Amino acid sequence: MTEIIHGLDGIVVTETRLSRVDGEAGKLTIGGFPLEELAPRACHEEVLFLLWNDRLPSQAELHGLRAELSARRAVPELTRQVVRAAAGQGAHPMDALRMGAATLALRDRDPRGQSRAANVDRALDLVAAFPTLVAIYWRGLNGDTEIEPDPDLGHAANYLYMLTGEAPDPRAVRGLETYLNTVVDHGLNASTFAARVIVSTRSDMGSAICGAIGALKGPLHGGAPGPALDMVFEIQRESLRSGGDIAEVARGWADRTIAAGERVMGFGHRVYRVRDPRAEVLGAAAADLFEGRDDRALYEDARIVEREILAALERAKPGRRLQTNVEFYTALLLHGIGLGGELFSPTFAVGRVGGWTAHVLEQIDEDRLIRPRAAYSGVFDRRWVDLGDRGEIAG
Ligand code: ACO
């Protein structure tokens, strides 16, 4: 009898030097660095260089990478039109991103090239263009004209600039750098695995990245932060309406939601059995960002809501060790940076595309088709019945 490991839990299918997730200890290592050492200090280009080259860049190398990415921010006209049309029809932001990403192959300098150089070139193109795609979508959604990229701004700052058209606040830029660095890679998560499966067939990087966007869209993966923040707002509103203490309202809300069999967004994880270290880093980034601001109460309320939900999860599922995951503080941080809820998932993709491309490069080197098996649960030895003899419902 074959043992079935549903969801491939705990199955190790490859090696990677990119990141390590220690779910029991709650530790995330990215390119050899503890997350908390790297994410709040590095600019995103340094982390991209680290993933692609397995070391930090020198000053000249960082300058070179920034110039490379900056030169590739503009997207083909057809790409622009596709994303704009998707926004015009109110498409889901991740669908718009996927449609746009699919057309980036139009500017491939060596469309059939299989060399590492050709693939690194594609990685640079994709990473550089993602912020532009999201910005085109966002501006289109709001009926605004697009903003040309600013070559003098870094990757994160330019993303904010293209979204808003305003010179970005340095605190918001730092928050976004920390966010992008925090989500850049996370072991063999579903979207990264999807990308590796696709490229393991010797398909191309663009196809792998489009598949990864599709996987990240789902609410069990990258689609959770919007609902996580909505939950905090809902609890705040209920507390205002009823005049009840926010902790009490959160407790009641959490108990009701869990009893109804619903999942609380921003909590639980397939691998972590302790607090997601990314929640720690993003929580600290959110604390810095909200410090001294008029809307600091939102941060304080979110902490209370988090505490009450954790207690409610422990009451309802004792011993399951459901903890805060990355999405809870993602929502708070990105909201504090000024991004709307529709931008949460695509901004996750803006960060994760660096990891996806690095994994695709690793998988191309490994060159081993990923092909697990399924246990057959159907019947055997059916006999053919001609169409005219099948009656109303064919057997
Ligand atoms: N709220 C309520 N109950 C939960 C939650 C939650 N957030 N997470 C897990 N549970 C419950 C399950 O219902 C299940 O209960 P049961 O055993 O009584 O049926 C039990 O805890 C075990 O859950 P699993 O399904 O085994 O957890 P799994 O490892 O498959 O799921 C997942 C992990 C999908 C992240 C889950 O915790 C979840 O749905 N969380 C909410 C969505 C979310 O925050 N997604 C973002 C994840 S982070 C990321 O991908 C970047």
Closest CA to ligand 1's atom 37: 268
Kind and range of the H or E run holding 143? none
**226-337 CATH fold:** Cytochrome p450-Terp; domain 2 (1.10.230)
Identical fold at 19-221+342-366 and 226-337? no
> Ligand 1, residues 325, 334, 347: which to mutate, most atoms within 8 A of Cβ?
325
Query: From the CB of residue 382, how many other CB atoms can be counted at a distance below 10 Å?
Result: 8
In sequence order, what E strands does the chain have? Answer: 19-22, 27-30, 33-34
Rounded Cα–Cα distance for residues 11 and 22 (Å): 14
Amino acid symbol at 133:
L
Q: 25: which residues sit within 8 A by CB, 6+ positions away?
A: 274
CB of 205 sitting under 6 A from ligand 1: no
Beta pairing partners, 34: 29
Walk along the chain (395 residues) and give the pLDDT tens digit of each residue. Answer: 789 999 998 899 999 999 999 989 999 999 999 999 999 999 999 999 999 999 999 999 999 999 999 999 999 999 999 999 999 999 999 999 999 999 999 999 898 999 999 999 999 999 999 999 999 999 999 999 999 999 999 999 999 999 999 999 999 999 999 999 999 999 999 999 999 999 999 999 999 999 999 999 998 888 777 888 999 999 999 999 999 999 999 999 999 999 999 999 999 988 888 889 999 999 999 999 999 999 999 999 999 999 999 999 999 999 988 999 988 999 999 999 999 989 999 999 999 999 999 999 999 999 999 999 999 999 999 999 999 999 876 55
Determine whether domain 19-221+342-366 maps to CATH 1.10.580.10: yes
Q: Where are the domains of the chain?
A: 19-221+342-366, 226-337
Global model pTM greater than 0.75: yes
Q: How far is CA 341 from CA 93, 96, 143, in A?
A: 10, 15, 17
Find out whether 26 and 325 touch, Cβ atoms under 8 Å.
no
Chain centre to alpha carbon of residue 96: 15
Amino acid symbol at 227:
P
Q: 96: which residues sit within 8 A by CB, 6+ positions away?
A: 83, 86, 87, 133, 137, 346
With tokens 């695995």, the residue in question is 193
Q: 369: which residues sit within 8 A by CB, 6+ positions away?
A: 200, 201
Among residues 177, 280, 327, 342, which one is catalytic? 327
> Ligand 1, residues 320, 321, 332, 334: which to mutate, most atoms within 8 A of Cβ?
320
Q: How far is CA 37 from CA 30, 45, 154, 276, 352, in A?
A: 10, 16, 21, 15, 19
